[in-house]
Amino acid sequence: MRAAPTILHLDMDAFFAAAEQAAKPSLRGKPVVVGGLGPRGVVATASYEARRFGVHSAMPMGQARRLAPNAAYLVPRFAFYRSISEQVMELLGRLSPLVEPLSLDEAFVDLEAGGVADDSASARAAGEKLRTDILATTGLAGSVGLAGSKMIAKIASEEAKPDGLVLIEPGTERELLGPRSVRILPGVGPATGEHLRRAGMTTVADLVEAGEDELVRLLGRAHGASLHRMARGYDDRAVVAERDAKSVSVEDTFDVDLHDRVRIRVEAERLAERCVGRLRASGHSGRTIVLKVRRYDFSTLTRSETLRGPTDDPGVVREAVGRLLDAVDTTGGVRLLGVGVSGLADFTQEDLFAQAEARAEAETGAVPGEPEKDGGVGGGEEDGPGASGAGAGAAGGDAIEEAAGSVERHWAPGHDVRHTVYGPGWVQGSGVGRVTVRFEEPGSAPGRVRTFAVDDPDLVPGEPLPLVGRGPE
């Protein structure tokens, strides 16, 4: 705990949806929902306009459509969101060498370590300047919390939403927390909250009054003691600049249960390629390959295989996933597949490459690890927070379309396109062999809508255009 509120927590407001509104002038001020659009899709982010209808993150997309039928429903564009996140994180890095990212749109900053704040006035000034700089650079709003600990700074940023700043003076934590629900504390989810409620504890003050011994009896030594400290406002966790990843994983939920064993294997191998792409991007290799299978009846099986040493070779990972899949009963259908790599290291075991190559040459004459050329592997908008399980990439990648023999081009709502005559735009919708495109850019006025055949040679996928900063308002 610090004597000055020099720990800052930044949380970008409705980040994915706000980024889409900034990129698409016709959506500004209108309800926007980002997530998986299939029957089993879920909401990743809803704009504040959509939240007024009751739409919120993690809600089934079908329910969101019933609540807000006139909202714009878009698939995520994670490459675009990452580019904005990099700009925001660069601004945070100017404040301090100690920046702890929690996700694309959220981070802690130690202002004291950066020498930009040592009291309430200087901390508030740094926070306000950060919000102004983010707006000027990206055109997006972020909410800032300032406090003497990470826990209270995060609570402060929640109170600041949307587009605000809240500073909580050190020494006032107990007064602030006392009347709040126990769910406000880190580590208290629905199950723990219900367990505490049955024991007669619904507020943070109830936890303090119950005492550490009672919480330990209810929750165990580590959790009970930690919860009692947090209830009293104590949190001495440091801002850590490097957050070591424990694993890398990807998964997809399918709109329709998969029954064909060949199709299931194609999906598993595609996920293995995507996972290795993430692994390499993070600069790691890993020893343990994990396969996750959720079956038609919602039962979930997890199988793993630990290699002799760490690897980032796609062929090795694909082969391991294939062996794990062979040991799983998929009778009845598969609704979700996931592939992960854990036991991470920052080096590879070279003999694993030689082993995989020798085995592949002996069996097929092929060299493992060659990337597939169908565009359905290796990242892009489907790879990122909120895509897993959202249905955004489920049963829709180019690899799967080719495997199924489909020749019709797929245009996902929200994706960028470019026309040789009309220039850049984005997909509003498609179906029955037609695709509707609105032609506009981040800095333009709302654009016109035109419709084309899905195989129109003049219409091609485009790249996201940079956002236009708005400057201080």
The residues annotated with a catalytic role in the active site are 106
The CA distances from residue 260 to 79, 100, 291, 333, in Å, are: 32, 44, 18, 8
Sort 179 into a burial class: Cβ within 10 Å, 0-12 / 13-18 / 19+.
Answer: exposed
Compute the distance between CA of residue 97 and CA of residue 114 in angstroms, rounded to an integer: 6
The SS3 of residue 21 is helix
Question: What's the rounded Cα separation, in Å, for the pair 185 and 379?
Answer: 35
Tell me the three-class secondary structure of 132-148, residue by residue: HHHHHHHCCCEEEEEEC
Task: Please give the span between the terminal C-alpha atoms of the chain, in angstroms, as a whole number.
Answer: 34
Task: Return all residues near 264 (Cβ < 8 A) that are at least 6 apart.
Answer: 258, 325, 330, 334, 337
How far CA 102 is from CA of 11, 84, 109, 207, 383, in Å, comes to 10, 15, 11, 27, 17
Distance between CA atoms of residues 315 and 320, nearest Å:
9
| CA angle at 249 for the pair 281 and 295, rounded to the nearest 5° | 155
- The Cα–Cα gap between 313 and 309 comes to 12
CB 386 within 8 A of CB 40: no
Q: Minimal CA–CA distance to 237: which of 319, 323, 151?
A: 151
